[in-house]
Structure 1
Amino acid sequence: MIKKNLAPPSNNAFTSFLPLRTKDKHYKFCWDSVLGYLVHILYSKSLFTKNVYEFKGLCEKNFSKNLESDDSGLWDVIEKMYFQNDELFKISPEFLIFKAAGKEIDANSKKLGDMYAGVLNGFTVESSSVTNLNFLEREIKSEFDKFHVSGKKTTPKEFPTYLPFISEYFKKDLHFLNKKPHYLISNFNAVIRLYGFLYISQMALSINNWACGEPKSEPCFFILDNEKASEERSQVKNCGYDKIRDHLEYLYPYLFMNEALQEKNNVQPLWKLFDEINDSHIDGLNNFGEDFIADRTERKWYNTELNWQRSEDKKNVLAQLLEASHSQFHRRKGRLSTYSNTAVKGTLLNILDPFIQNRKRGGNVLAFNQDYIVLLTNLVIGEREKLRFHEVIKEFEARGVYFDKQSQQNLVDFYERMGNVVRMSDSGDAVYVRPTV
Structure 2
Amino acid sequence: MIKQNLIPPSNNAFSSFLPLRTKDKHYKFCWDSVLGYFVHLLYNKSLFTKDIDDFKGLCEKSFSKKLERDDISLWNVIDKMYFHNDELFKISPELLIFKATKEELDTNSKKLGDMYAGLLNGFTVESSSGVNLNFLEREIKNEFDKFHVSGKKELPKVAQTYLPFISEYFKKDLQFLNEKPSYLLNNFNEVIRLYGFLYISQMALNIKTWAYGEPTSKPCFFIVDNEKASEERSQVKNYGYDQLHDYLEYLYPYLFMNETLQEKNNVQPLWKFFESINDSHIDSLNQFGEAFIDDRIERKWYNNELNWHRSEDKKFVLNQLLDAAHMQFHKNKGRLATYNNTAVKGMLRNILDPFIQNRRRGGNVLAINQDYIVLLTNLVIGEREKLRFHEVIKEFEARGIYFDKQSQQNLIDFYERMGNVERMSDSGDAVYVRPTV
TM range (shorter): over 0.9
Does the 8 Å CA contact 1:45/1:151 hold for their aligned counterparts?
no
Q: Aligned residue for 2:216? A: 216
Q: Aligned residue for 1:129? A: 129
The C-alpha deviation readout for 1:208-248, integer Å capped at 9, x for no partner, is 00101000000000000000000000000000000000000
TM-score by length of 2: 0.99
Q: Aligned residue for 2:142? A: 142
Task: Write the letter of the residue equivalent to 1:416.
Answer: E
Q: What is the rounded CA distance, in whole Å, between the counterparts of 2:408 and 2:52 in structure 1?
A: 45
Q: Aligned residue for 1:250? A: 250
Q: Aligned residue for 2:63? A: 63
SS at match of 2:223: strand
Structure 1 residue 363 corresponds to structure 2 residue 363: yes
SS at match of 2:209: helix
Q: What is the rounded CA distance, in whole Å, between the counterparts of 1:169 and 1:90 in structure 2?
A: 25
Structure 1 residue 169 corresponds to structure 2 residue 161: no
Q: Aligned residue for 1:377? A: 377
Q: Aligned residue for 2:327? A: 327
Does the 8 Å CA contact 1:222/1:236 hold for their aligned counterparts?
yes
Q: Aligned residue for 1:402? A: 402
Q: Aligned residue for 2:47? A: 47
Shift of 1:53: 1.2
Shift of 1:80: 1.6
Which blocks of at least 5 consecutive residues in structure 2 are unaligned?
Answer: none
Does the 8 Å CA contact 1:198/1:399 hold for their aligned counterparts?
yes
The C-alpha deviation readout for 1:133-156, integer Å capped at 9, x for no partner, is 111111100100111125875322
Q: What is the rounded CA distance, in whole Å, between the counterparts of 1:419 and 1:84 in structure 2?
A: 38
Task: Write the letter of the residue equivalent to 2:407.
Answer: S
Does the 8 Å CA contact 2:91/2:133 hold for their aligned counterparts?
yes
Percent of matched pairs sharing the same residue: 82
Q: 1:61 to 1:135 in 2, by over 3 A?
A: same
* Counterparts of residues 310-349 of structure 1 (less than 5 Å): 310-349=310-349
Q: What is the rounded CA distance, in whole Å, between the counterparts of 2:102 and 2:215 in structure 1?
A: 39
SS at match of 2:274: helix
Q: What is the rounded CA distance, in whole Å, between the counterparts of 2:55 and 2:149 in structure 1?
A: 13
The C-alpha deviation readout for 1:254-273, integer Å capped at 9, x for no partner, is 00000000000000000001
Deviates more, 1:78-87 or 1:309-318: 78-87
Does the 8 Å CA contact 1:230/1:362 hold for their aligned counterparts?
yes
Does the 8 Å CA contact 1:51/1:102 hold for their aligned counterparts?
no
Q: What is the rounded CA distance, in whole Å, between the counterparts of 2:90 and 2:153 in structure 1?
A: 22
Q: Aligned residue for 1:290? A: 290
Does the 8 Å CA contact 1:32/1:100 hold for their aligned counterparts?
yes
Does the 8 Å CA contact 1:45/1:152 hold for their aligned counterparts?
no
Deviates more, 1:149-158 or 1:98-107: 149-158
Q: What is the rounded CA distance, in whole Å, between the counterparts of 2:191 and 2:269 in structure 1?
A: 24
Shift of 1:102: 5.8
Task: Write the letter of the residue equivalent to 1:429.
Answer: D
The C-alpha deviation readout for 1:47-92, integer Å capped at 9, x for no partner, is 0111111111110111011100111221111112111220000000
Q: Aligned residue for 1:195? A: 195
Does the 8 Å CA contact 1:387/1:433 hold for their aligned counterparts?
yes
Query: Which segments of structure 1 move beyond 3 Å, counting only runs of 4 or more?
Result: 150-154
SS at match of 2:149: coil
Does the 8 Å CA contact 1:18/1:115 hold for their aligned counterparts?
yes
Q: Aligned residue for 1:97? A: 97
